[in-house]
Amino acid sequence: SGGRDDGKADSDSGGGNAAGSSGYTVAFVTHETPGDTFWDKVRAGAEQAAKDTGVTLKYSNDPDAAKQAQLIQSAVDAKVSGIATTLVTPDALAGAVKSAGTAGIPVVGLNAGIDQYQKLGALMYFGSDESLAGTSVGKRIAAQGVKHPLCVIHQTGSVALEARCAGVKSAVPGTENIQVNGADDSAVTTTLQAKLAQDKSIDYVVALNAQVALDAINAKQQSSSTAKVSTFDLNPEIAKRIKDGQVEFAIDQQPYVQGYLAVSSLYLYLKNGNDIGGGKPVLTGPSFVDSANIEKILPFTEKNTR
């Protein structure tokens, strides 16, 4: 018992077009660090959209800005029909995006780069804004009277993560950052444990991904701290913890939607000349998941679509 539930194993089967039947190829380039749940959902959304619209999807990723630029360049070399890319480091990607424009390949931005996408020549944008999301979290916990939250950066020097923490700090000036080794759960746990022991005044932990939030709960128990925990992004485990109250809330920018819209908008643009958002960015978040709405969302997290 407790294993795979056979009934719902094959959730996203169903009708729709076979990939490639519309004749378009879309390159989807992100700054994913391999194995991240968040990006897994972005990709799931993109794949679903590709399936629904009959587009051939080519997904690739590299967290290093220069290499991401290289991936965009190779998509241009491969003469794809459209490119969807994250614009987390707009200056670094500008050249590659421009060369796509020169080659007549439409580009849409997603996830990050809300202020710069137009300048770079991307047609549309789907996403949230990292610092806006951070600020929303900050405002919400400030309202509870939190004075000294800890913002956990699980990937050194990541622009997106730093932006989230900066957002939190803009609403709660007492925010403190900490760096952990996100590739090792026991290291995350002990580091947080140490931090909570070192500074007893920490009254809140803001995790920037779901697994770190789980580790934070562990650390909290070990160091008998009373700090509360909230997190960015969802996974099934976190959904359960929200339900039983161990995690206050998760802020969700609906990665599945970002992936889905980026691909389907390109399809519509290519097929039909549509412009989604009317020249303005399309926001997919932030939306809060907490005990109020968790019941509704829980089944979707199980399916890896939220």
Partner 1 sequence: MRRSLRLLARPEAGALAAALVIFVFFLVVAPSFRSMAAFCTVLYQSSTIGIVAVGVGLLMIGGEFDLSAGVITISAGLVNSMFCWYLGVNLWAGALLSLAFCLLVGFLNGWLVMRTGIPSFLVTLGTFFVLQGANLGVTKLVTGSVSSRDISAIDGFTSLQKVFAWSFPLGAATVWITVLWWALFVALAAWTLQRARIGNWIYAVGGAADSARAVGVPVVRTKIGLFMTVSFLGWFVGMHLLYRFNTLQAGNGVGNEFLYIIAAVVGGTLLTGGFGNAFGVAIGAFIFGTTSLGIVYAGWDPNWFKAFLGVMLLLAVLVNTYVRRLSSAPAPAAPAAGPPVPVPAASGKEG
Smallest distance from partner 1 to CB 142, Å: 22
What is the torsion angle, in degrees rounded to the nearest 10, for the CA atoms of residue 209, residue 211, residue 217 and residue 219?
-100
Q: Note whether 204 and 146 are within 8 A (CB).
A: yes
Per-position x/- string for 240-279, each x denoting binding to partner 1 as judged by CB under 8 A, each - no binding: ----------------------------------------
- Would you call 36 helix, strand, or coil by DSSP? coil
Could you say which residues in the range 2-31 bind partner 1, by CB under 8 A?
2-4, 11
Nearer to partner 1, 5 or 15 (CB): 5
Tell me if 78 sits within 8 A of 56, measured CB to CB: no
Q: Select from 111, 135, 158, 254 the one that contacts partner 1 (CB under 8 A).
A: 158
- 217: nearest Cα among 191, 247, 239: 247
Interface pick for partner 1 out of 20, 64, 119, 295 (rule CB under 8 A): 64
**Minimum CB separation from partner 1 for residue 197, in Å?**
5
* Residue 41: exposure state from Cβ atoms within 10 A (0-12, 13-18, ≥19): buried
Q: According to the binding rule CB under 8 A, does residue 237 interact with partner 1? A: yes
Please give the helix or strand (H or E) that residue 152 lies within, else none. strand 149-153
d(CA 68, CA 14): 33
Give yes or no for residue 190 binding partner 1 (CB under 8 A): yes
Residues 92-121 interacting with partner 1 (rule: CB under 8 A): 92, 94-95, 99
# residues contacting partner 1 (CB under 8 A): 72
Q: Which is nearer to partner 1, 47 or 124 (CB)?
A: 47
CA angle at 208 for the pair 95 and 261, rounded to the nearest 5°:
55
230 binds partner 1 (CB under 8 A): no
Strands 249-252 and 287-290: antiparallel
Question: What tokens appear for 163 in the block?
Answer: 């932006």
Which of 130, 203, 215, 252 is the binder for partner 1 (CB under 8 A)?
Answer: 215
Residue of 16, 19, 33, 174 interacting with partner 1 (CB under 8 A): 33
The span of 58-66, 134-142, 260-268, 270-278 binding partner 1 (CB under 8 A) equals 58-66
Q: Quick one: which of 85, 89, 231, 284 contacts partner 1 (CB under 8 A)? A: 89
Helix, strand or coil, per DSSP, at residue 182: coil
- Closer CB to partner 1, 26 or 123, in the complex: 26
Least separation in angstroms between CB 7 and partner 1: 13
In the sheet that 287-290 helps form, which strands lie side by side, from edge to edge?
176-179, 149-153, 204-207, 228-232, 249-252, 287-290
**Interaction residues for partner 1, span 166-185 (CB under 8 A):** 166, 177-179, 181-185
Residue 52 or residue 62: which is nearer to partner 1 going by CB?
62
Does residue number 135 form part of the binding site for partner 1 (CB under 8 A)? Answer: no
Which residues are bridge partners to 149 per DSSP? 204
